[in-house]
């Protein structure tokens, strides 16, 4: 009986910390994404990239898209101010975008 109690105690000691670490990794805060937010942000970035590449006027091949908690950051280079503004407008219309930080540099 004593051996079974030792085994049960050992199992509890080994499993509990792993479970706590696993569960705490799922929650997000102001500076870190939760697992769900990370998945949503990746999908949002993909939709923005697709919308930019589908634009008939410009293709935005030198624009990078990153998303954090629904805020999309655009960076990279374009040739004109109109292209920069249009990229921001396109991104704003994409599902999942809460805010835009348009840090695109105009090569003028």
pTM of the model: 0.72
First to last CA, the chain: 81
pLDDT in the model for residue 65? 97
Which residue intervals of 1-75 are DSSP H helices? 2-24, 35-53
Distance CA 41, CA 35 (A): 10
Distance CA 95, CA 97 (A): 6
Joined tokens for residue 54: 């589908």
Distance CA 81, CA 106 (A): 6
Q: Which domains are present in the chain?
A: 34-106 (3.30.1340.30)
Distance CA 83, CA 23 (A): 44
pLDDT in tens, 18-65: 555 555 556 667 788 889 999 999 999 999 999 999 998 888 889 999
Q: Which residue has the higher pLDDT, 56 or 73?
A: 73
Cα of 71 vs its chain's centroid, Å: 9
The pLDDT mean for the chain works out to: 86
């Amino acid at each position: 009986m004593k051996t079974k109690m030792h085994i049960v105690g050992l199992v509890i000691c080994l499993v509990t910390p792993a479970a706590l670490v696993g569960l705490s990794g799922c929650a997000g805060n102001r500076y870190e994404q939760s697992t769900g937010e990370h998945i949503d942000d990746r999908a949002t970035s993909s939709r923005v990239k697709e919308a930019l590449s589908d634009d008939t006027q410009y293709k935005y091949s030198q624009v990078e898209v990153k998303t954090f908690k629904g805020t999309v950051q655009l960076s990279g280079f374009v040739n004109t101010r109109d292209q920069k503004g249009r990229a921001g407008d396109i991104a704003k219309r994409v599902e999942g975008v809460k805010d835009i930080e348009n840090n695109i540099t105009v090569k003028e």
